[in-house]
């Protein structure tokens, strides 16, 4: 399997560290890995034809945000969508995939959702760790190979509230307490899902503000399986 890891965007999400994490996981799966800090490769249709899996690590990039975060061009987005539709997979996590390219709705249509907040305080808390809470992740589809054998679990991190596509194949969810935003009490939001875009496979997990989050054993195994699943043609 040929994998392309793209990293950039908001430095607060430490894209370089996550790129190294993804490389370490995929290198144990006999993957040929290319790592790029530029989105330009997406516009090269010939190069993309050989890629089986894209791992995007590029959060907060949008035209209304800071220019140094970068953004995806129309040509690059078209190349990405064409590659996925043609059979290349994409797998990612947290804001690196779910909070990227906010002003590109077709990108979010493709991945199946978009981040909108993580109570208690976003975007008002100046320190992201102030939004870390203990929450539970419930396995929704215990017989799916990506999630099989993984129990419900808890972690302390950002609990992502997301707008999601109802056509997603949801593998895990979380329920919001309403302690910080009473009007969302009892809302069940997908945490992990998979889906299709043309011939391509999409896998997403909303956990992953820090590498420590991704190294929670249940999360690490879901991500490993999800990336391998997405990269299969």
* Residue 99 predicted with pLDDT over 80: yes
Range(s) of the domain holding residue 93: 2-230
Q: What is the mean pLDDT of residues 151-169?
A: 97
Give the residue, 216 or 127, on which the prediction is more confident: 216
* Residue 64 predicted with pLDDT over 70: no
- Structural domains of the chain, count: 1
Give the residue, 62 or 103, on which the prediction is more confident: 103
Q: Edge-to-edge strands of the sheet including 2-9?
A: 32-36, 2-9, 53-59, 89-93, 200-205, 188-197, 169-175, 133-139, 153-157
Residue 65, pLDDT score: 57
Confidence grade of residue 233 (pLDDT, cut at 50, 70, 90) = confident
Q: What is the mean pLDDT of residues 66-83?
A: 86
N residues, the chain: 233
Query: CA 195 to CA 123: how far, in whole Å?
Result: 29
pLDDT > 70 fraction of the chain, expressed in percent and rounded: 91
* Residue 187 predicted with pLDDT over 90: yes
Residue 66, pLDDT score: 61
* Residue 139 predicted with pLDDT over 90: yes
Residue 124, pLDDT score: 59
Least confident range from 58-62, 69-73, 77-81, 216-220: namely: 58-62
What is the distance of C-alpha 128 from the center of its chain? 18
Kindly report the CATH number assigned to the domain that includes residue 196.
Answer: 3.40.50.880
Per-residue exposure over 79-114, b if at least 16 CB sit within 10 Å of its own CB, e if not = bbbbbbeeebbbbbbbbbbbbbbbebeebbebbbbb
């Amino acid at each position: 399997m040929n994998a392309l890891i793209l990293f950039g965007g908001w430095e607060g999400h430490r894209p370089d560290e996550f790129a190294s994490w993804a490389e370490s996981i995929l290198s144990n799966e006999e993957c040929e890995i290319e790592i790029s800090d530029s989105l330009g490769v997406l516009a090269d249709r010939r190069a993309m034809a050989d890629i089986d899996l894209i791992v995007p690590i590029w959060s907060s990039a949008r035209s209304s945000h800071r220019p140094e975060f970068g953004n995806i061009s129309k040509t690059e987005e078209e190349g990405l969508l064409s590659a996925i539709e043609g059979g290349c997979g994409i797998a990612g996590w947290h804001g690196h995939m779910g909070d990227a390219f906010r002003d590109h709705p077709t990108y979010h249509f493709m991945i199946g959702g978009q981040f909108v907040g993580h109570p208690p305080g976003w975007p008002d808390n100046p320190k992201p760790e102030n939004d870390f809470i203990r929450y539970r992740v419930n396995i929704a589809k215990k017989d799916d190979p990506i999630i099989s054998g993984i129990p419900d679990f808890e972690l302390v991190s950002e609990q992502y509230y997301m707008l999601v596509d109802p056509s997603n194949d949801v593998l895990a969810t979380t329920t919001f307490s309403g302690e910080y935003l009473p009007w969302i009490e009892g809302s069940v939001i997908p945490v992990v899902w998979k889906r299709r875009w043309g011939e391509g496979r999409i896998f997403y997990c909303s956990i992953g503000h820090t590498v420590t989050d991704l190294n929670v054993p249940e999360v690490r195994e879901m991500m490993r399986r999800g990336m391998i699943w997405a990269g299969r043609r």
